[in-house]
Amino acid sequence: MISRIAAARSSLRPSWAGRNYSLLTAAAVVTNLGSQGALIAAAFAVLQSGGDSTDVGVVAAARTLPLVLFLLVAGAVADRLPRHRVMVAANALSCVSQAVFGALVVTGNARLWEMVLLTALGGTGLAFFSPASEGMLMASVSGAQASRAFAVYRMAQNGAGIGGAALGGALVAVLGPGWVLVVDAVCFAVAAALRGLLQLDLSGPRDAAGSMLAQLREGWREFIGRPWLWSIVAQFSIVVAVVGAAESVYGPLVARDELGGAGPWGLALGAFGVGTVGGALLMVRWKPRRLLFAGTLCVFPLAMPSAALAVPLPVGPLAVVMFVSGVCIEVFGVAWVTTMHQEIPEEMFSRVSSYDWLGSIGLLPLATAVAGPAERAFGRSTALWSCAALVVLTTAAVLFVPDVRRLTRRTHEPAATPAAHPPPTTGMLAPEHTPTEPDPALPGEEPAVSGARRAGPADAGEPSGAAGRPPGTRT
């Protein structure tokens, strides 16, 4: 009977949605339900304890600083050890840190240094979780269906984020931030149990030969040998930093002073989540031929939320702005992770992902830490307008990289080859586009296809690449 039920459930899944993929998607849904509300709760826990914008920024920086310190080691570990075990251990650490954080806030005993320490422990868990999760996800789908699988994964993940942000904001207003942090701890425990069921034999062979330093060097050669990869990661080091400062520090402050508190800010973040679901749904059907060109054009609207907070707009128009930016970042996100899956060898997934994450979030601790002093020095509005301007300028700059404009989706994917041995044209240009051809004015795109064919992104985490989504959207 059990075997019949299992067979029936399996027949309901698409052929590309295997057991590992389904478990990863379910776990991402659970963690996003908790983590999106916890992001709001952590900021308001600091404010509730008497903290100011600088304190909010310090706590936000405490989450990202361990990422900078441990990501490279975590990527090498994930390519050496069973990835699902690394993910479970990381989730367990995050569960414990959030449970203690929540208990301290509920009892009214939370002090700033305790919140910083516990947030840093959660960031350490995220540092080891993210590269392992990226590698596991990319290894769980076939090349022929990768784009559709990534879009559906992100759609489920971000759909959970909608409810998590809206519910979290409401619960912070009604019950207080401490209970929202406790709920997040429970979600991490459930997700760890689901990820513990992942099948190792489907996650790809692990190569533990050689020193960890040698493996890190291999990952670096793979990363630096692809101009499209390191240039977009450099772009997102700025984009993620300024969007993170606006979201983690200025957003809650504007909500408190101008919008009415945590509830309206939760609704705005929920609108962003709705937009990401819409963007993922679009990418299930749409197949932009020049993946990174189309995706990069969609990064420009990420300047709009900072501008909307600078005005500031009422909650209704702000929600519209957040929705549009959610759609756009998801288009980029699906294009990014599809490109990574197409171009990066499987045995390098986690190491390249760790360089992606490290480069993309490297400036985030600094940005969140200085957001408060910048507000006092220049004013909140000026700081937010500067965030918007930096998004526009860095995104325009990356379009000067030829591979970003020309890299083309492959209909029939050959095995990815290491970047250490690229052909003269970097090995990533479509045959019909040589370096001497003029650049197209608009991204070449294939028409929308029927639902029978695949078409096609934070991970934040859940993980689909650090450059694939702004902070606050990973599990």
pLDDT digits (tens, 9 = 90+) for 153-168: 888 887 787 778 778 8
Does 185 map to a domain?
yes
pLDDT, the chain, mean: 78
Q: What is the pLDDT of residues 198-241, one digit of tens each?
A: 876 544 445 555 677 888 888 888 899 899 999 999 999 999 99
Q: Is the pLDDT of residue 326 over 80?
A: yes
Residue type, position 8, single letter = A
CATH number at residue 103: 1.20.1250.20
Does 434 map to a domain?
no
Q: What is the pLDDT of residues 344-367, one digit of tens each?
A: 887 787 788 888 888 888 888 788
Q: Report the pLDDT averaged over residues 62-76.
A: 83
* Confidence label for 17 from pLDDT (cuts 50, 70 and 90): low
- Give the pLDDT of residue 2: 38
CA distances from 102 to 98, 146, 178, 187, 462 (A): 6, 38, 4, 13, 22
Does 94 map to a domain?
yes
Cα(118)–Cα(178) distance, integer angstroms = 13
Cα(218)–Cα(206) distance, integer angstroms = 15
- Give the pLDDT of residue 5: 38
Does 346 map to a domain?
yes
Q: Report the pLDDT averaged over residues 324-342.
A: 90
- Give the pLDDT of residue 424: 34
Say how many domains are in the chain.
1
Note whether 286 and 338 are within 8 A (CB): no
Cα(319)–Cα(305) distance, integer angstroms = 9
| Segments of 41-181 assigned E as strands | none
Does 319 map to a domain?
yes
- Give the pLDDT of residue 210: 63
DSSP result, 354-387: HHHHHHHHTTHHHHHHHHHHHHHHH-HHHHHHHH
Q: Report the pLDDT averaged over residues 128-145.
A: 77
Note whether 226 and 343 are within 8 A (CB): yes
Q: Is the pLDDT of residue 30 over 50?
A: yes
Q: Report the pLDDT averaged over residues 169-183.
A: 87
- Give the pLDDT of residue 388: 95
* Confidence label for 13 from pLDDT (cuts 50, 70 and 90): low
DSSP result, 423-434: -TTTT-B-TT--
CA distances from 101 to 113, 151, 401, 458 (A): 11, 33, 44, 24
**Which range, of 116-125, 227-236, 456-465, averages the lowest pLDDT?**
456-465
Domain hosting residue 145, numbered range: 17-199+212-420+442-468
Better pLDDT: 440 or 34: 34
Does 28 map to a domain?
yes
- Give the pLDDT of residue 104: 92
Place of tokens 């936000």: 60
* Confidence label for 136 from pLDDT (cuts 50, 70 and 90): confident
What are the φ and ψ backbone dihedral angles of 40, each rounded to 5 degrees? -70, -45
- Give the pLDDT of residue 444: 36
Does 147 map to a domain?
yes
- Give the pLDDT of residue 462: 43
- Give the pLDDT of residue 308: 94
Q: Is the pLDDT of residue 9 over 70?
A: no
CA distances from 132 to 128, 236, 248, 264, 407 (A): 7, 21, 25, 35, 26
Q: Is the pLDDT of residue 454 over 70?
A: no
Six token digits for residue 209: 């030969």
> Before 312, cis peptide (omega within 30)?
yes
Q: Report the pLDDT averaged over residues 329-356.
A: 85
Note whether 460 and 469 are within 8 A (CB): yes
Q: What is the pLDDT of residues 242-301, one digit of tens each?
A: 998 898 889 888 988 888 887 788 788 878 878 888 898 898 888 888 989 999 999 999
Place of tokens 């990952």: 219
Does 62 map to a domain?
yes
Better pLDDT: 93 or 170: 93
* Confidence label for 319 from pLDDT (cuts 50, 70 and 90): very high
217's enclosing H/E stretch is: helix 212-224
Residue type, position 140, single letter = S
In the chain, the percentage of residues whose pLDDT exceeds 90 is 27
Strand partners of residue 445: 288
- Give the pLDDT of residue 450: 29
Q: Is the pLDDT of residue 448 over 60?
A: no
- Give the pLDDT of residue 396: 96
- Give the pLDDT of residue 14: 60
Q: What is the pLDDT of residues 379-398, one digit of tens each?
A: 999 999 999 999 999 999 99
- Give the pLDDT of residue 415: 46
Six token digits for residue 436: 């001497």
Cα(72)–Cα(325) distance, integer angstroms = 30
In the chain, the percentage of residues whose pLDDT exceeds 70 is 80
- Give the pLDDT of residue 457: 29
